[in-house]
Copies of this chain bind each other. A is one copy, B any other.
Amino acid sequence: MQKLLKTKTAWLSLISIISLVKVSFAAESLQMIEKIKNQALSDDYAYHQIEAITTEIGARPLGSAKELNALKWLEQQLTELSVGHLSKQPLKVRNWQRISASAQVISPYKHELVIESLGGSVATPAEGLEAEVIKINNFDHLNSVEADKLKDKIVYISRKLDEHSPAEDYLNMQRIRQKGAIIAANKGAKALIIRSQTTDKSRTAHTGAVRYHSNSPQIPAAAISPADADLLDRLFARNLPVALLINLQNSESRWVDTYNLIATLSADHSQNNPNKVVFIAHIDSWDLGTGALDNAAGIGIGLGIIKQLIQFQDKLKHDIEIVFVTAAQFNQLGIKTYIKHLNDKHIVVATEADLGGESIFRLDTNIDESALKLADKIHTLTTDLAIERGHNASGGATNTQHMLALDIPIFNWVQKTDNYFKYLHSANDTFDKISLESIQQNVATYSIFLFSVANEGLIFSNKVTEHEQPTETTVTQ
């Protein structure tokens, strides 16, 4: 679950409240940073924690017993790391559950399709739902097609994720998945199926959240595998009517208890220092795989950062908070709860890991312009990790996007996503796609970043910004 790069319009910084004071690091700091880097690059702890959570817990669907198991497991790891300060933020989330999904082409030729419900989808009748299928090319086509063409039909949206720039294209795809059922239902459709949103071409279906509108009918929504979408496309190319029987069984969501888990590396004089730096990773995953890329990787990286930095805790001028939030997959109620309780300390800068198990290749930021030199300086600490300096228009990630709205400065350490956009939200999101070397590079990068800010007591400007228009972002949920 992740939000990437890319704001459609650059924002205008109007006022800098606090300006930057310091852009160089003490020799002692640089020595510690070098030590942190070398240790992180040779430590397999984070990698093995990812192995452990995917092997011993597996999938962690929002609001499930497995999510609670994962939180307990995580608390145990944090205790073993001797984290002195752990806190929980209780909240209620919905616990939608998948039961079964099947689909058959019943004309013009019979085929079994590989299909999975979108997360949150209502069920079909027990006997399934049979209807003619209308092929829709993309989001604009869905919006513009006349309602009478969709009346009582199954709407099939054939749009593919662009395999050459999936991260950038994911924004368009999310819109289809999240809003497709609302628009189709308003035009009288009986169900929605989409091509799985992935760069993979295989026979595996990819889930992801669907949204409903309280004023619209709720229709069943599902994704078919890319190879099955190809098959449907070939059937449509024959200009024969296509009909499907789909059967999606899911349990209705109830509100259940869960919590965010927050580990704090407390600064030496934390009572006198009102500042903290924040690293975020989400604990919930989709149910089909074991949530390795999305987001056991982030959890492992978070644990790895703590292992690296806890030994330098007495050097910190700011607190470092490693925040494990829930509800990234549906509505980010976890980060919203965290934000609601932000009453004690000022967040100097926030970052999030949520793009899988590959290495970081670029630093994007969203900070006041007066802080750019400082960001560039911090970036130089990571250049030998093969990380470029990117732009200052980051939209944040799944959770940090909500902090951007509060003008909290954001560092977005962008990972390569060759695997991520192939396997996200599918049964293939498993541990074998995690690279030890890349996880080590991630832990080194975040550790250097968080330590340098907290050790030097750096302060970024809070921005008061005016957006030309609402920022659009790429959020994978």
Contact = CB atoms under 8 A, between A and B. Distances in A.
Nearest to A427: B203
A428 B431 CA distance: 21
Contact of A109 (B57, B108, B238): B57
B109 A58 contact: yes
Contacts of A427: 114, 203
Contacts of A230: 430-432
Given A203-B289, A204-B203, A428 B55 contact: no
Interface string A234-257: 110010000000000000000000
A402 to B, nearest CB: 32
**Chain copies in the assembly?**
2
A114 B202 CA distance: 15
Secondary structure of the A contact surface, majority rule: loop
Given A55-B234, A204-B204, A234-B55, A428 B227 contact: yes
Interface in A199-248: 201-204, 226-227, 230-231, 234-235, 238
A234 B204 contact: no
Nearest to A233: B55
A110 interface: yes
A49 to B, nearest CB: 13
Q: How large is the interface on A (under 10, 10 to 19, 20 to 34, 35 or more residues)?
A: 20 to 34
A51 interface: yes
A466 interface: no
A169 interface: no
Nearest to A200: B202
A58 B114 contact: no
Interface string A382-426: 000000000000000000000000000000000000000000001
A201 B429 CA distance: 11
B58 A111 contact: yes
A56 B109 contact: yes
Nearest to A422: B202
A235 B109 contact: no
A431 B111 CA distance: 14
A305 to B, nearest CB: 24
A110 B58 contact: yes
Contacts of A58: 109-111
A55 B228 CA distance: 10
A29 B226 CA distance: 46
Q: 7 tightest A-B contacts by CB?
A: A203-B427, A227-B430, A203-B428, A55-B234, A56-B109, A58-B111, A202-B428
20 contacts: A55-B109, A55-B231, A55-B234, A57-B109, A58-B110, A201-B432, A202-B202, A202-B428, A203-B289, A203-B427, A203-B428, A203-B430, A227-B431, A227-B432, A230-B430, A230-B431, A230-B432, A231-B290, A231-B431, A234-B431
Interface of A: 51, 55-58, 108-111, 114, 201-204, 226-227, 230-231, 234-235, 238, 289-290, 426-428, 430-432
Given A55-B234, A227-B430, 14 more contacts: A51-B234, A55-B109, A55-B238, A56-B108, A56-B109, A58-B110, A111-B290, A202-B428, A203-B204, A203-B427, A203-B428, A230-B432, A231-B431, A234-B431
